[in-house]
A and B are shown apart, each in its own frame.
Chain A
Amino acid sequence: MLAAEAFPRVTGVAQLILRDPELARDAVQETLIRAWRDLRSLRDPSRFDAWLHRTAVRTCLNVARRRRHRPIEVELSPLDAPGVPDHSTRIADREVVDAALRRLTPEGRAVIVLHFYLGLSLPETAAALGVPVGTAKSRLHRSLATMRVAISVDDGPGHAPLTGGHVA
């Protein structure tokens, strides 16, 4: 039951950090297995989510390090995502965000994902990454700056469609 509930969130974290569908599937499976194996290390059940997020992020970073030199494939998601009011703008933004994320290192994407996607505070983000709060803060600042630059570049008239890339 816990696994089924956690599965979508862990999948999202893995997809955003790894930007590779196959690696993300591997990372999700590895995260759930680790969580199941080490579940009894959790003393406070109310901290399950934070504990799971930390496990997921660390697993993703390990997977990324193991596959750092492997070219990744880009799986184009269906463009007709439900509930999107302004279809064309939304598609454009998605591509821009995707391009900006790819400019980051896995560690940079992890801090963005934890803070903006999972909504963790900076101390929680730092704890999940296993780094001091100051490090998490500077890493978040640097990652956002990189993404802003990427978005400014793409803010001009038109931008090339993304067809692939490499993990930074």
Chain B
Amino acid sequence: MTRAERFERDLPDLLADLVSPAPPEDLADALSAMASVRQRPAWTFPLRWLPGRLEISIAPRMSWRLVGLLAIVAIVLAAMVIGALLAGSRRQLPPPFGPAANGLLIYDADGDIFTADPVTGATHRIVSGPDIDTRPIWSRDGTRFVFERTRADARPMGQLIVAGARGDHLVVASTEPLLHLRTYGFSPDGRSVIATATVGFTESIVVAPSDGSGPTRVLDLGGNVVIRGDLDPGPAYRPPDGDEILFMAQRSDDSPGIYAVDLSTGDVRTIVRPRDPIYLFDPTWSPDGDRVAYGSFRSSDNCTARIHLIDADGSHDRRVDLRTDTQCDGLGHVWSNDGSRLVYSRSRSRLGDLNWAVVPVDGSSSGVEIPCPLGYTSCWSRWEWAPNDSMLVGVIAGGRVVPSFADRGALTPEADLMVDPRTGVATPIPWTTTTGLSWQRTAP
């Protein structure tokens, strides 16, 4: 018998020989430690109260590496779920320019601010009170709106008020009352509000933080510059970054030209030079910021207004409307959100005989004519595109040509319309506004 065989036979005894008797004090120490520990109640052991005898099959034990891998996978999955939940709970915002989903319409009536659901027609008064609140305009992300507030005994001094989408959290953005507030709107990031108002004795561009945190300041455009005409409320900031402001101004004795001021450097550049006796009006940025649409007319003529398109660097000036039988076009033009079309008023014969047209800017057609509703001798409207460009909404001012948006505040509107821009079919809307509509942009 080899030693190994003998060893295996004697292994139990050999193992017993290796064991040294433990000293009695070790037992005493163990008993002392046991005395300090409470026994777990029987009910805390599932096998004690589960009926019957459980035969537990023993599963192969997983390696720690596998356990770790599974733990990492579980953590990643949990992070993805939490991220999805957080993203779902956080409201998505639309881009500041380009098409977006349709939200609520906002308008003023009787000195208060209302919202209207364009689908159901339901309206809600969201800002009210003794003051006169007018001309609400949504921010580019649709989370807030700005409006003008005047006191009946303090006109024409007004203040710019910024409110949350539900008419809550009202903030006075302009730190002091402004004289003759004309057009205004939000910056693309919503941090500031820009407006034209009379400061001293001249028309000026003023900028105010939208949260009311700072003073209202006058935009420095250099000497001998007087603002003429309105800023584009939709908006005057150049898309997509808002680094320039588009405006019309008059220097010295020239007629007005179209300019842009760089907000970071203060440099003013010319986009369309003054062309006396041609009068320029309503410059607007295209939604991509690459082009400017503007109108021009000869002041000595009855109606020779024409709409033009020019590249943002001041080159490649061209007419938009291809029709040769019109005397007048381009009044009150507004870009579609995708930048492919313009809606404006045009006349075939004489001033005062206006219809509407939706015209592609690429010159592919003369566009869709929207006839003036029966009973109106002349139609003018400041149109508002639906954020997804599917509809147009406008307020008709009949019987009088209004060359600028702000002047319409003095008119009494006679009808509000919703128009399909592809067919020109118009439908009356069931609410009546005072000075116009703004359509809320929401996330697609």
A residues adjacent to B (C-beta < 8 A) = 3-4, 7-8, 11-12, 15-16, 21, 25, 28-29, 32-33, 36-41, 43, 75, 77-78, 81, 84, 90, 93-94, 96-98, 100-101, 112-113, 116-117, 119, 126-127, 130-132, 135, 144, 147-148, 151-152, 155
Contact = CB atoms under 8 A, between A and B. Distances in A.
B27 A3 contact: yes
8 contacts: A16-B15, A16-B19, A29-B26, A32-B34, A41-B42, A41-B45, A75-B20, A130-B58
Given A3-B34, A81-B17, A94-B17, 16 more contacts: A3-B27, A4-B31, A12-B16, A32-B33, A32-B34, A33-B33, A33-B34, A33-B37, A37-B38, A38-B45, A39-B39, A41-B45, A41-B48, A93-B17, A94-B18, A101-B18
A39 B7 CA distance: 37
Contact of A144 (B8, B22, B29, B42): B8
Contacts of B61: 130-131
A151 B27 contact: no
A162 B61 CA distance: 35
A126 B45 CA distance: 22
- Band of interface residues on B: 35 or more
Contacts of A151: 3-4, 7
Interface in B268-284: none
B231 to A, nearest CB: 75
Contacts of A116: 11-12, 15
Contacts, number: 125
A33 B32 CA distance: 10
A39 to B, nearest CB: 6
Contact of A15 (B20, B39, B45): B20
Prevailing SS type, chain B contact patch: helix
Interface of B: 2-4, 7-8, 10-12, 14-22, 26-27, 29-31, 33-34, 37-42, 45, 47-48, 58, 60-61
Nearest to B12: A116
Contact of A117 (B3, B16, B27, B41): B16
Contacts of B12: 116-117, 119
Contacts of B42: 40-41
Nearest to A76: B20
Contacts of A8: 21-22
Contacts of A11: 19, 21-22, 26
A37 B34 CA distance: 8
Contacts of B21: 8, 11
Nearest to B61: A131
B174 to A, nearest CB: 71
Contacts of A3: 27, 30-31, 34
Contact of A41 (B26, B34, B47): B47
Nearest to A13: B19
Contacts of A112: 11, 15
Contacts of A126: 58
Nearest to A25: B26
Nearest to A132: B58
Given A33-B37, A37-B38, A38-B40, A93 B7 contact: yes
A126 B22 CA distance: 27
